[in-house]
Chain A
């Protein structure tokens, strides 16, 4: 990403790099959780469905 805004504070290069890594890791787990919940909800719904 090209830097085009004037900074108000120094974010620190190291801090931005680690932020990208941490956000990537957390984003990955977040996605896993979302999909995990979706899959879980399919099974839970099935379980709770009234017998036909």
Chain B
């Protein structure tokens, strides 16, 4: 039984894990709120709408901790992802869900304690609220304490992406508090001063924070009527809804699939081979590294597995997410993860929000049309790639793209390019893997390999 490293700030309770069982120890200090959450019908309402993760009360004991009010067992979510890994639409969906949950809470006499993007996870393409202890009793006149956090976690990054085209992922991946409003205010074009939403929630908000940054805490705080608070939430909702992503079609890789010389025969052949390899490996969690828009992630996803479909390009991930949402595909999880710089651990003690490899344990890695980029463009030796992948998962599906391939020819002449050939590839990967199978992709010079980690590696 392990206590979740992100669960310590709120004294109302914390999360602990035992394999795939997720429990929440709820403190006796949360008794009034917990009772109201249930008796007011709020929890039932949120559950009915599919907005909150379900739980049941258990009699699991936690030795060494005080007697709880109750211990809850939550439904298991197969993938835990963070805002720095989300595309624009994912962050937008999570923002809208937060506001919807807040609105329904107010209808039931409760309010959210915070406005954190980390309160939201994805179940397939649908966002779901996971922090059952975020609900506080609401009294008329009370402001929403999560307003600033909401603006920093959601509104500012969405605004920057929408108005300036600035990817928010690197900012959210290094700053756990989100994008500071002072920074957002500086980066947004001056024309946004004439847009009421940006003027109020970002520019004036940033000014107010900096002006009162060192003020003494007052004994009283301004009162906000419920009617005005609802008007504020409505306005935030319509603002977030109206934000659009520009330039979806202009991505460097977004139309990669169309540009490549891969024809339909090759594509069909590739899909068939990877499906066959995937069923041999039998992994329940698969990482598709360099997934682009997720075409081959969808090809291998089944009822028996989930595929984390990773790419460094936010717009390719955006396309992936939208395709899955339209087709109602719920076992492919598009995430922005750069293979050469995967999501790092951040926050308190560098453990609060662990890196991707600490959150997900894949049984199979699939790396299609990636090896030449890693070895030549990024100059990472074959052996380093083999060592890293074999440390992550026991199985690997890898596409070898020969040096005679057009896609390799156009790459820069790095030292990696000099070493790039099949015999060096076989030698390096042979140290870590045994070859289970290799099949040539029809109508190309490429081949797909199914590799199994050697015992003892």
Contact = CB atoms under 8 A, between A and B. Distances in A.
Given A1-B223, A22-B232, A9 B208 contact: no
Interface stretch (B51-59, B136-144, B288-296): B136-144
Given A19-B147, A27-B231, A1 B201 contact: no
A25 B213 CA distance: 23
Contacts of B141: 1
B200 A22 contact: yes
A1 B143 CA distance: 10
Contact of B146 (A5, A11, A17): A11
Interface in A5-40: 5-9, 11-20, 22-27, 29-31
Contacts of B207: 18
B18 interface: no
Contacts of A17: 208, 212, 222
A5 B136 contact: yes
B144 A19 contact: yes
B341 interface: no
A3 B208 contact: no
B1 interface: no
A21 to B, nearest CB: 8
A26 B236 CA distance: 10
Given A9-B113, A9-B145, A11-B148, A27 B204 contact: no
Contacts of B209: 12, 14-15, 18
A9 B142 contact: no
Interface string B140-170: 0111111111000000000000000000000
A2 interface: yes
Nearest to B223: A1
What is the predominant secondary structure among interface residues of chain A facing chain B?
A: helix
B61 to A, nearest CB: 26
A30 B208 contact: no
B149 A9 contact: yes
B114 A23 contact: no
Contacts of B231: 23, 26-27, 29-30
Contacts of A5: 136
Contacts of B10: 8
Contact of A18 (B142, B208, B218, B230): B208
Contact of B147 (A11, A27, A30): A11
B215 interface: yes
A16 B151 CA distance: 13
20 contacts: A1-B220, A2-B219, A8-B9, A14-B205, A14-B215, A15-B148, A16-B143, A16-B222, A17-B212, A19-B222, A20-B143, A22-B232, A23-B143, A23-B224, A23-B229, A26-B232, A26-B234, A27-B225, A27-B228, A30-B231
Question: Across chains A and B, which 4 residue pairs bring their CB atoms closest together, nearest first?
Answer: A27-B228, A14-B212, A20-B222, A18-B208
